[in-house]
């Protein structure tokens, strides 16, 4: 798997003296992005402790900004903070996955239906561009880039629904299964990655036609298929897990 964190310490540039608040916000965002990718892409085992010293060395930062980023990942549901014992990657049971994916399927299904009523031509064009970017990543077997574009497509459909309550609920649950959605593409006994790409073609087609009921059904089944792949991957032998190349 491709990670955004380098193998050797490459410090993130500290904020300059000018525009301090804006620079600090940018620095915090970059740390958070890279740390989130590191966890999502399976570089720490399920239930494993977060190696703070190692991450500080790789990111070239102190523990204070690292721990601030860990608080955000804990709020997103990716990790758990342990009182006076650091943090660990949140481990989800099969039952947890079933329930979370069913809730996400319902939310995305509703988002698709509402989006067809409110989405603009410009928003559809932007989603089309993301789709073609994602397809290019798929052809080059770039899972990291593919996943980033994939998530932006789903988030764009939710945003196009124009429903703040739905958006908040979606964000609350999305973080908890982001890591599992990523790893589900590696399910051994099915070509999940290719399946997901074909499903996204159907999603885009229905969105272009603003076929609300059809898009709603496609998105619901898309999440159900992802759930099946995630559970399959969860139960695979540990030695078959994907490794960085």
pLDDT of residue 190: 56
- The secondary structure element, H or E, covering residue 75 is helix 63-76
Q: Comparing C-alpha atoms, which of 54, 50, 40 is closest to residue 2?
A: 40
Chain segment 164-174, per-residue pLDDT in tens:
999 999 998 99
pLDDT of residue 240: 43
How far is Cα 133 from Cα 149, in angstroms, rounded to an integer? 7
- Is residue 199 within 8 A of residue 222, CB to CB? The reply is yes
Residues in contact with 166: Cβ distance below 8 Å, sequence separation at least 6, in sequence order? 107, 110, 111, 114, 158
Q: What is the pTM of this model?
A: 0.77
CA 201 vs CA 44, 115, 132, 212: distances in Å: 32, 17, 10, 16
pLDDT of residue 15: 41
DSSP assignment of 155-202? HHHHHHT--HHHHHHHHHHHHHHHHHHHHGGG-TTS-HHHHHHHHHHH
Question: Which residue ranges of the chain lie beneath pLDDT 50?
Answer: 1-17, 240-245
Chain segment 75-103, per-residue pLDDT in tens:
998 999 998 889 999 998 999 999 999 99
Say how many Å lie between the first and final Cα of the chain, rounded. Answer: 6
Would you call 82 helix, strand, or coil by DSSP? strand
DSSP assignment of 202-238? HHHHHHHTT-HHHHHHHHHHHHHHHHHHHHHHHHS-G
pLDDT of residue 16: 43
């Amino acid at each position: 798997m491709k990670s955004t964190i380098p193998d050797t310490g490459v410090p993130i540039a500290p904020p300059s003296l000018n525009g301090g608040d804006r620079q600090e916000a940018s620095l915090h965002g970059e740390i958070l992005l890279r740390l989130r990718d590191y966890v999502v892409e399976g570089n720490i085992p399920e239930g494993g402790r977060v190696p703070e010293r190692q991450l500080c060395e790789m990111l070239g930062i102190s523990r204070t900004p690292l721990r601030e980023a860990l608080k955000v990942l804990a709020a997103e549901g990716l990790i758990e903070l342990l009182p006076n014992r650091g943090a660990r990657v949140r481990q989800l049971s099969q039952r947890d996955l079933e329930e979370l994916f069913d809730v996400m399927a319902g939310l995305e299904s509703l988002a698709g239906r509402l989006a067809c009523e409110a989405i603009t031509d410009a928003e559809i064009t932007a989603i089309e561009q993301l789709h073609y970017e994602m397809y290019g990543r798929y052809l080059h077997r770039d899972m990291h880039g593919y996943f980033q574009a994939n998530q932006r497509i789903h988030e764009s459909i939710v945003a196009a629904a124009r429903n703040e309550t739905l958006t908040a609920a979606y964000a609350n649950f999305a973080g908890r299964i982001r890591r599992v959605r990523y790893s589900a593409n590696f399910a051994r006994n099915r070509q999940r990655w290719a399946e997901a790409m074909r499903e996204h073609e159907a999603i885009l087609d229905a969105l272009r036609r603003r076929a609300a009921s059809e898009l709603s059904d496609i998105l619901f089944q898309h999440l159900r298929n992802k759930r099946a792949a995630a559970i399959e991957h969860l139960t695979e032998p540990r030695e078959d897990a994907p490794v960085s190349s």
